[in-house]
Structure 1
Amino acid sequence: MSDKPALDLLIAAPRGFCAGVDRAIRIVELAIEKHGAPVFVRHEIVHNKFVVDTLKAQGAVFVEDLDEVPDGAPVVFSAHGVPKSVPADAQARGLDYLDATCPLVSKVHRQAERLVAAGRHILFVGHTGHPEVIGTFGQVPEGTITLIETVEDAESLEPADPDNLAFLTQTTLSVDDTAAVMAVLLRRFPTIVAPKADDICYATSNRQAAVKAIAASCDAVLVIGAPNSSNSLRLVEVAEREGVRAALIQRATDLDWAFLDGVGTLGITAGASAPELLVRELVDRLATRFAVAEREVETTRETIAFKLPRGLEEAA
């Protein structure tokens, strides 16, 4: 009989790495295998310190600007996507580059181009300064796309041509928040062109649904993810909206034990850029103080995988 207090763990599934993150990390690893270290990566390949540090140890060098990449060095663009000017600059300098943009983000980029070519002004639902937003804005001429962050933005917007609008969204948003913004846009601008399929990626939607599924049975929820990870922050918000105390931690060592005061059932999930290793690390740390009983709650099974870019398929 353990003298440790009991703690039930409800572990959300799906959680952690999505197909786009898997692919992006693999692109960096294969580029290092193919070219040898160092391989430069423009911006964090995914928003997770553990992943970035692991790749640094293998020979990846992370930079914020292409100017920091020496002539002749291989460079990888992050999963969040980049403005068109970045690969154009890389080409002009003769750099050997690989684009690790998530295919679901690339799909939004192509939609943006098609809408602008058709003469539509795009309302883009997203967060100021997020690399995915910067990348999408950089696909189309300046002035052809307007950022909408909130329901209030959607209500107050006065477009020059309200009958010639379209909207797109960042892939890592809150499903509920985005639905509220979209409802306002559709009410105010009945002729607005909506995307054929939901832009919010399957992994973001699935992880949010999985948190909702466990929240009612939990006293608190821990989300493993980075503070600059949009999809991880949304998971905290989803749990809180369900009426549960929630916190974001990067590693098990970040856990404040006081957070668990009065908690009998703890929910655990991980953002799309957090590896499963960090979930196991957290469970192991909890087991040092509690008699842990864990149960996985699966709401859907993900089977999506994305192809590697040409030139790396052989290396794989």
Structure 2
Amino acid sequence: MRTEPTDAETAGAHSPLIFLGAGAVSEALVAGLLAAGADPTAIYVTNRADDGRLEHFRRRFGVHAGRDTAAFPAGLVVLAVKPADAAEALREHKTLFTRAPLAVSVAAGIPLAALRSALGPTPPLARAMTNTSVVVRKAVTAISFEAGVPPAWRRVAVRLFEAVGTVVEVDEPALDAVTALAGSGPAYVYYLLEAMTAAGAAVGLSPELSARLARETVIGAGAMLAAVPEAPEGLRKKIMSPGGTTEAAIDVLDAGGFFRLVEAAIEAADRRAKALGERFRASFYARGAEPAAPEAPVEPGALDRRSV
């Protein structure tokens, strides 16, 4: 069992971290990193036009936030822009990318091959798909690495997203399915909560009380899943007394094809993810993403030693 960090991991732990994009994902990642003890002076944030967001990052976190990216040091780059803005970001900040030991894209739908085509031979690349629970550091993030990314830098990237929740490593083709299940998943839970709230009101509860009870029930069930290693089926069966109220409700759901409806919903989301991916990829190329002129990448051991 390895007990000592590799040189790359040591360098990664001290590498400046550069966020291209100042939206909710960047904000949640920065917050999570700082809560885990990161040095705010080693974090850099930029965006295309919103000065207010950059000022927000400076005031809330004490990080570097501005548009003079020529003054940014070499560091791990997180591409956190809208898909439509990705090609422009790659062109505008190509020097940051070619000097980076690793770049991680959270821009939805743009495949690693397209990013590689635009950037040229450097840096090593990864794609990540997270969900909205990132803002409360309870996200599920799937990450996929380009072939050849050193294992030590893979661990550095994984630790970045572990600051905001759970991380799984998958092959890139699985990211569409991850999007369908976990990326959209919080919305399915919220939709169930809407239905439970409406149903509670229909059987006589006030809308306010029904909403409160439904919300706290879902929160409690989530806490049980986190605290107890038992599978959901086992937890459900513990509540379902023979001939009881829960059994009556589950019988209705089963008669209505509940499992098949959920399966069909996730299959539809998976198909849409694939279609959107094709659209984003076409738009990415249409916006003129071109290979950057190759530059020598920064070696991990030569990175700035400020702690992130």
Normalising by structure 1, we get a TM-score of 0.30
Larger strand proportion, structure 1 or 2?
A: 1
Normalising by structure 2, we get a TM-score of 0.30
Query: Of the two, which has the highest radius of gyration?
Result: 2
Larger helix proportion, structure 1 or 2?
A: 2
